[in-house]
Amino acid sequence: MFPEAVLRQLPGHLAPGGEGWLILSDLAELLGLRSREQLTAAIAAAGLRVLDRLDTRPRHPRAADPADPLHRARAAEVTSLWRLAAA
């Protein structure tokens, strides 16, 4: 899982009191490739805590195109900015 590798390395790059930002779509969750529980467990396992999460919905044309094979998932997709800090 890609986010796990990034998360494991993040604490070593943070200055005291610093934070790291992870921008991640939940499309993998919607397609059953990853669960939210797996993501939050990876954050905790990396020694990180969530300071905040800001969400946005898609605005690109494919999210509104019913002919797109992934239309249902794209229309429901949420992209989040996860603000992370050392636990």
Predicted local confidence at residue 37, as pLDDT = 95
Domain hosting 74: range is 2-86
Count of Cβ atoms closer than 10 Å to residue 5 Cβ: 11
- The C-alpha R_g of the chain, in whole angstroms, comes to 15
Averaged pLDDT, 14-26: 95
Q: How do residues 26-83 score in pLDDT, each as one tens digit?
A: 989 988 999 999 999 999 999 999 999 999 998 888 888 999 888 888 888 999 999 9
Number of domains, the chain: 1
Q: What are phi and psi of 23, to 5 degrees?
A: -100, 120
Predicted local confidence at residue 1, as pLDDT = 56
